[in-house]
Every structure is written in structure tokens, then in C-alpha cells.
A and B are shown apart, each in its own frame.
Chain A
């Protein structure tokens, strides 16, 4: 158990819908990262937050957004969902030094 929690574990929804994925980092970690894992693209970095502020942006679509709250949990919002958004979404957190990232168990999203 990495100490990073993600909810829900599974999500099934329809095209055009909007969903919110939630992540709680390890105690004391200020950085949260979101990644998407799909069969064709592998693991792709989406976005990073550090202590509530956006720190880095990767291959995140405009339909997707994220935020980190004062209690350091983070949410990833996916809207106008398409079939191709079906993937595993991982959250990771890292301590201040940033050397290591610890991953949560992921949320498996299926868009029908």
C-alpha cells in the first residue's frame, strides 16, 4: 500500500458525460501528479499540482481539468467524454524532495 488513495476504483459512463476522479496523497506530500494509462499510448503525464498551484502540464486535453484543494487532495475532471478517454487514470504523490513518486491504485474509466 503506497498511501495514495483514489476513488472510485471503477467508473462506467456514456459519451458526452462528465466525471470527477479523486485522489488523496500520502500524508505530508505536497505534490500530486495525474497520469493516464492506455493500451496504445502507455503512461502519459497529464498535470502536476504542488501545494494547490499548478506546477507542470503534460498531454492534458482541454476537456480535462484538475485542481488541488487546501487539504491537498486533488480532483481530475473529465468532460465531454469520448470513447478514446477510456483508460486507467493514476494519481501519484511525492515528498518535498520530489525524488520519488508513489502511485495510487488507479481509477478505471470505461466510456460507452
Chain B
């Protein structure tokens, strides 16, 4: 079945790196995604990775994919207070709609 698991909370100090982890179950997932949701707002697509890649970097964001363990992580370098939000991991098994995790609430302490 499809299930995406994430820890619910993460707290980091401003300037440190944040690492948000996610596990998924469907090995047929072709793309994996990270979305950000700020309070009262919609979901903003941060980045996504194709399943044949193991890393993708985009400015302060680094996505690592371990396909063998079905593990996805999002690293945010030099975390700022503006990064405080809920981060959702999502998988796309085959050509189907996205399956989301419950989200990780990132709190950045100044």
C-alpha cells in the first residue's frame, strides 16, 4: 500500500542546518516531492527528484534519495526564521496523484 511517514516536529537554531526525513513505501514512485506550507497558505512546491537520481541541490536545499531504503531527506542549509513552516513529503506512484505524508513542523529558534 501507499504510505509516507515523516516525523511531526523539528526544532533548530537559526543558522544551523535542518534535516527533514521521510520514508515511503511504493518502489514504483517515479518522482518524490517536498512542499512547504506556511500558516494560512497553500502548498508551495520546493523541489522534486526523479527516482533515478540520488541527490539534487538547489541553492540552500539538498534532497537525498536512498531508493534501496525508500528514504528521502531534505536538508536546508543556514536555516532562517522564514523557513519556519510545515514541510510535506510526497510520492507519486506510477502515474497516479500524489500521496502526502502528514508533514513535519519546522520551528526555527532565533
Contact = CB atoms under 8 A, between A and B. Distances in A.
Interface of A: 2, 4, 33, 42-43, 45, 48, 56, 58, 90, 92, 98-106
Given A43-B103, A98-B95, 13 more contacts: A2-B44, A42-B101, A43-B100, A45-B97, A45-B98, A90-B43, A92-B43, A100-B48, A101-B98, A103-B42, A103-B44, A103-B45, A104-B42
Contacts of B110: none
Interface of B: 31, 33, 35, 41-45, 48, 88, 95-103
A58 B95 CA distance: 14
A58 B96 CA distance: 10
A66 B101 CA distance: 25
17 contacts: A2-B42, A2-B44, A2-B45, A42-B100, A42-B101, A42-B102, A42-B103, A43-B43, A43-B103, A45-B97, A45-B98, A45-B99, A58-B97, A99-B48, A103-B35, A103-B42, A103-B44
A98 B103 CA distance: 23
Contacts, number: 43
Contacts of B101: 42
Given A99-B31, A100-B48, A106 B42 contact: yes
Contacts of B97: 33, 45, 48, 56, 58
A56 B43 CA distance: 21
Contacts of A104: 42
Nearest to A33: B97
B29 to A, nearest CB: 12
A102 B35 CA distance: 10
Contacts of B41: 105-106
A85 B103 CA distance: 21
